[in-house]
Structure 1
Amino acid sequence: MTVTTALPHAEAVSLADQQLASWLKQEGCDEPPPASDAPPPEPPGLAERLRLGERVLLDRDHGPLRGGPGAGRYDRRRLRTPAAHGTQQLTLTVATGADGSTWVRLEAETHSTGSGVRTPCRVPVPELARSLLPLLDAADGPAAVHTAPRVITAAEVDALIDELCDPERRLPTVVASVPVNLPVDHWVADVVGPLCHQLPGLATAYVLDPGARTGFNVALEYHSVYGGAVRTYLPEVDPASRQDGARHPVLARGRIEQDLRRAAGLLAREPRRLAADQPLPVPLAAVPVLRVPPPQLRPASGRAADSTVVHRSAAHPGADGAVVRAELAALAHEEQQDRAEQQARADELERVRHSLRLERRDCHDTRDARDGRDAHEGRLRSGPRALTGRHCTTPGAGPALGPRFAAQPADPCGKPESFTELMSRMGEFTLLTFTGDQKSALALDELQRVGAGWARLAWDGLTALQEYAEAAVCGRAGGDFKQWCEHTPEGCHRFPPRKAVRGESRTVFSHTKWKRERMLPVPECVDASRRAFMGAHLRIGGGRTAPRLHYLDDCSGSGRIYVGYIGLHLTNTRTN
């Protein structure tokens, strides 16, 4: 959650501390002392660590923002509490920039203990978010951020449209319609309220009453919502663009009523992704990484850091004191290096967020320009790639390929952010055909952590396969796909050779059950049984889940590559 508040910095921090203390008290934990009453941490610059119960730790720190004097200030609270099979972490940051704007960010995470039990990916919205939003008078650009959906009347439609189009808006705006002849109050209470339960702090939500629905849909001809459907309006809405309407997903009434709980999860997916991927506002991006005391300086109990180790050198001025001083110096150096690495990772993450944002903007601009072409070009959605594929299908029918087999990506809109998007864009690859079950691929979206990049890596692999196929049908590939990856022609997309595997082991091939898993669908023109063994695969992820993409290279026959499976690692000697 990232919002602004008009309250002064000190007042916002005080309110946050009060709500945090109240919640801890309800949970049966010790109440932390006021930050002003707590002794300063030792050594200076480290966060103050408080132990408030069994496995309950609170870290508090404050100071100037990075950027030199006058850049602003921040206060931060990080709370760790036990959770099922791990630890739940809550980080609250209040940062005020040099211009006086105060930002509040709340991050909730669940960390697994590594016991082998999978932790749920979706962390519930913290109660702290629900209690803080009204107290802070939280805002997102021109919009007030509420904890529950607000009903819009006809007189408020213009203000809502201005809000949707405001360039300062960061949060998605969810707009729900009401079915004809159904009371607004009942629909809000029974459907929209539960549907938006996971949105506080992540999106603003509104409900159009019957009078507002007509005016809203007339004004937003290409972005309308009606019939009980719910639409998520992402930032930077362009009401005059028909193509822009495709950016803003619609959740149909039928899907909502079929399974309200699942629909609520689907509705929250895009706001959660946007909250994690968007670049931070300048004040929050300038907050330094948290510095916690090293293990030797952390208190075993109590509310203040135990300085016993620090004072040992004074108590033993001889050799023991020199040893202790050396140990402390080594600890300080190690802590400094660790902090520098953490800061570098945080800065790199922020650079990636900015790159993704620019990439998406370029995608939208390019898509608008592309969709504005005449009908003939509109049918050639892959542009130069489709033409290259056609010329290559019949050797000699087109111009010879130069050193750049495919200088353009499969689509100028950039890489997909999820497997849902990836599967919807498979048609952009003119020489690849997906023959498998989409469910195994879509299930990866539930497992993929933000920024894990499985979908983007799979897209890289598909792009490289497409370029290889374009060359292979012309007899210019110079070998199989593995060799293509090892000696990728200039101008083509590189895919790591170590992630391209030619086939399965002899053990897998000779194991009846394991081999059957890899007998995947193909057209009848490839095999009369409509099944073929796809041992060749791409490694698109690691760890326990180890996602894989299995394919069959039939460029020498039908002139295509068939992708039969995208999903979790199929069974072998290392899986169970």
Structure 2
Amino acid sequence: MTSDRSPSPAGADLPGLRGPATPYRMTVTTALPHAEAVALADEQLASWLKQEGCEEPPPAVGTVPGTAVGAPPAAERLRLGERVLLDRDLGPLRGGPGAGRYDRRRLRTPAPHGTRQLTLTVATAVGGPTWVRLEAETHNTGSGVRTPCRVPVPELARTLLPLLDAADGPAAVHPAPRVVTADEVDDLIDELCDPERRLPTVVASVPVNLPVDHWVEEVVRPLCRQLPGLATAYVLDPGARTAFNVALEYHTVYGGAVRTYLPEVDPASRQDGSRHPVLARGRIEQDLRRAAGLLAREPRRLAADQPLPPPLAAVPVLRVPPPPVRPAAEPAAEPVTEPAVLAHEEQQDRAEQQARADELERVRHTLRLERRDRSQTRDGHEGRLRTGSRGALSGRHCTGPGLVPTAAPTTSGTGPTTAGHRADQLSGCPGKPDTFTELLSRLGEFPLLTFTGDQKNALALDGLQCAGAGWARLAWDGLTALQEYAEAAVRGAAGGDFKQWCEHTPEGCHRFPPRKAVRGESRTVFSHTKWKRERMLPVPEGVDSSRRAFMGAHLRIGGGRTAPRLHYLDDCSGSGRIYVGYIGLHLTNTRTN
């Protein structure tokens, strides 16, 4: 008997099943090793089965003894009660030997008018994080049976999230909303803007003069009841609300409202603000249960539409062992099909299922690219409108994303490169690089920036699967903003340091998020001998005779405690240049140590 593998419609191999209700799909990462994550999931699944009065499954086999490289994955089917089936399989990811491995559990249990299906998949690529995906679906049989609008959040999701220390990029995925204080606003904004984030982030505000604890327990927790595993949820206390709304002037939330921040937030874009829906306090208090359903609608849609991460997309379709062959002594009621024919038919069926699953992934990727293109077109139009509505700025036009300066003064000698020369460089260049390999090869496009660091630290970032192309693009944004700042600074027109430039970026210039521009390290880091030595980075002898300088100023080019940083030295007032001494994973400090 063959069967489906999500994302193809569950139940496709079960005759008589009607269309499914809106499924539940959770996709997170965990820092646990693959084997530990599988063991933990098996333990929780067995505990839930016991509570439901089903037989506990025997321990799963962690390896396949004697399995040759390239052999089909190991699979087994267990019957744990009346209409209760547990399919288990494990094996290598598609992509050849060394690509990684997966373990999967699919549980089918009876529902009042059909079948419930729960699929848990753990996949780990070589050198990458462990991905965990949990899917719950319901299928009804017979005609005239009303299908529920959505499958509820499985209890297994609520128990697994804290045990796995589940994460979504830089954010911890908790089963319940967490209160944020003013000191934590920067970290929250980093999460919202981080390119690795896949899940929506729900941020709730508290009405003025109402106790935070009361609002959280009576309103926010019930409101977020359908969100575990589908979104991260936070509640702003009064101090955090003020700091948050000052920093995100186009994406504010206040007065008891709740806002859903979709991935790829652009704090500098007024147009982008309309992308992130707001649920008003009045609608919440009018019908809390209905409001909870409305709040979960967008996270459910995003979970269904988003392409799978590469390790999960490389999991093959489920292969269920065929039923046992009857003994030869028993007379057969009908001719027995040759085993070779059965094997060939099974192989064809699995190939068709795999093709359908791969095609669905391609459709998801295409739709995602189309949405991104529309967003970039919208942002480019917004930028052109701003450019057309202003005059020249300090004798020149700064460049925004995809724009070229329209006028520039000329300079001569060894002074800074002119904006006109900058325009000539940019006009023939492709867009933002997707890898650090490409980024390093194009550093010549920034005439006032000099990279003095070790390229190996930056190139190593390309090998981290979880980074995708987001880190390289964000680093490029930072370098572009640094170049524009340097052009103004050498003329004495920057109006402060780079942090102030980011906070008050002149219209038309490329804006880098101020929260990601850090002036310097903490006193603890500066006074710690080893940590300070890590930040003593190469500079020319003309800048410092020791050919080393402390580079505490840095850009956050990725979220989280250990995500990449770009360290630099601003020497515009001296040599007229900015020296980038390090691009790589977060250097050691109190958090990473």
SS state at 1:247 partner: coil
In 2, Cα distance between equivalents of 1:228 and 1:215: 16
Distance 1:225 1:260, change over 3 A: same
**Aligned equivalent of 2:291:** 263
In 1, Cα distance between equivalents of 2:112 and 2:382: 49
**Aligned equivalent of 2:356:** 345
Deviation of 1:234 (Å): 0.4
The count of corresponding residues between Structure 1 and Structure 2 is 359
**Aligned equivalent of 1:34:** 59
Letter in 1 for 2:350: R
CA contact under 8 A between 2:317 and 2:350: conserved in structure 1? yes
SS state at 1:3 partner: strand
User: Does residue 167 of the first structure (1) align with residue 195 of the second (2)?
Assistant: yes
Deviation of 1:329 (Å): 2.3
- Offset from partner CA, 1:117-167 (integer Å, 9 cap, x none): 121121000000000001101000011000000000000000100010011
**Aligned equivalent of 1:150:** 178
CA contact under 8 A between 1:85 and 1:115: conserved in structure 2? no
**Aligned equivalent of 1:80:** 108
User: Does residue 96 of the first structure (1) align with residue 124 of the second (2)?
Assistant: yes
CA contact under 8 A between 2:134 and 2:157: conserved in structure 1? yes
**Aligned equivalent of 1:184:** 212
2:165 corresponds, among 137, 142, 160, to 137
How is 1:120-519 mapped onto 2 (pairs within 5 angstroms)? 120-294=148-322, 297=323, 307-309=324-326, 312=328, 324=336, 326-372=337-383, 374=385
User: Does residue 17 of the first structure (1) align with residue 42 of the second (2)?
Assistant: yes
Structure with bigger RCO (C-alpha 8 Å, 6+ apart) = 2
CA contact under 8 A between 2:46 and 2:56: conserved in structure 1? yes
Deviation of 1:290 (Å): 0.4
Deviation of 1:232 (Å): 0.3
In 2, Cα distance between equivalents of 1:21 and 1:206: 32
- Offset from partner CA, 1:501-550 (integer Å, 9 cap, x none): xxxxxxxxxxxxxxxxxxxxxxxxxxxxxxxxxxxxxxxxxxxxxxxxxx
Deviation of 1:87 (Å): 0.7
In 1, Cα distance between equivalents of 2:141 and 2:384: 54
CA contact under 8 A between 1:61 and 1:76: conserved in structure 2? yes
In 1, Cα distance between equivalents of 2:62 and 2:306: 36
Deviation of 1:328 (Å): 2.3
| Identical aligned residues as a percent | 84
Deviation of 1:44 (Å): 6.8
In 1, Cα distance between equivalents of 2:370 and 2:250: 24
Deviation of 1:53 (Å): 0.8
Distance 1:371 1:84, change over 3 A: farther
CA contact under 8 A between 1:40 and 1:48: conserved in structure 2? no
Which moved further from structure 2: 109-118 or 30-39? Answer: 30-39
**Aligned equivalent of 1:8:** 33
In 2, Cα distance between equivalents of 1:250 and 1:214: 18
Letter in 1 for 2:368: R
Which moved further from structure 2: 6-15 or 111-120? Answer: 111-120
**Aligned equivalent of 1:419:** none
In 2, Cα distance between equivalents of 1:371 and 1:11: 49
CA contact under 8 A between 2:54 and 2:81: conserved in structure 1? yes
In 2, Cα distance between equivalents of 1:154 and 1:5: 28
In 2, Cα distance between equivalents of 1:373 and 1:70: 48
Letter in 1 for 2:276: H
Deviation of 1:79 (Å): 0.4
- Offset from partner CA, 1:215-255 (integer Å, 9 cap, x none): 00000000000000000000010001101001000000000
**Aligned equivalent of 1:557:** none
**Aligned equivalent of 1:559:** none
Letter in 2 for 1:31: E
Deviation of 1:323 (Å): 6.0
Distance 1:171 1:41, change over 3 A: farther
Deviation of 1:112 (Å): 1.7
In 2, Cα distance between equivalents of 1:39 and 1:76: 14
In 2, Cα distance between equivalents of 1:188 and 1:49: 44
Distance 1:72 1:38, change over 3 A: closer
In 1, Cα distance between equivalents of 2:61 and 2:132: 20
Deviation of 1:89 (Å): 0.5
Deviation of 1:28 (Å): 0.2
Distance 1:331 1:174, change over 3 A: same
CA contact under 8 A between 1:52 and 1:58: conserved in structure 2? yes
- Offset from partner CA, 1:349-372 (integer Å, 9 cap, x none): 100110011011011111223345
Deviation of 1:374 (Å): 4.9
In 2, Cα distance between equivalents of 1:170 and 1:37: 30
In 2, Cα distance between equivalents of 1:102 and 1:231: 30
Deviation of 1:330 (Å): 2.3
Where is the helix percentage greater, Structure 1 or Structure 2? 1
In 2, Cα distance between equivalents of 1:131 and 1:41: 35
Distance 1:41 1:340, change over 3 A: farther
Distance 1:98 1:46, change over 3 A: closer
SS state at 2:250 partner: helix
CA contact under 8 A between 1:61 and 1:75: conserved in structure 2? yes
Distance 1:141 1:123, change over 3 A: same
- Long gaps (5+) in structure 2: 1-25, 390-593
Distance 1:174 1:37, change over 3 A: closer
CA contact under 8 A between 1:12 and 1:94: conserved in structure 2? yes
Deviation of 1:41 (Å): 14
Deviation of 1:100 (Å): 3.2
Letter in 1 for 2:48: W
Distance 1:181 1:37, change over 3 A: closer
In 1, Cα distance between equivalents of 2:321 and 2:385: 64
SS state at 1:120 partner: coil
SS state at 1:223 partner: coil
In 1, Cα distance between equivalents of 2:264 and 2:303: 15
Deviation of 1:293 (Å): 3.0
SS state at 1:221 partner: coil
In 2, Cα distance between equivalents of 1:11 and 1:39: 17
- Long gaps (5+) in structure 1: 298-306, 379-576
- Offset from partner CA, 1:363-419 (integer Å, 9 cap, x none): 1111223345559x99xxxxxxxxxxxxxxxxxxxxxxxxxxxxxxxxxxxxxxxxx
Deviation of 1:114 (Å): 3.5
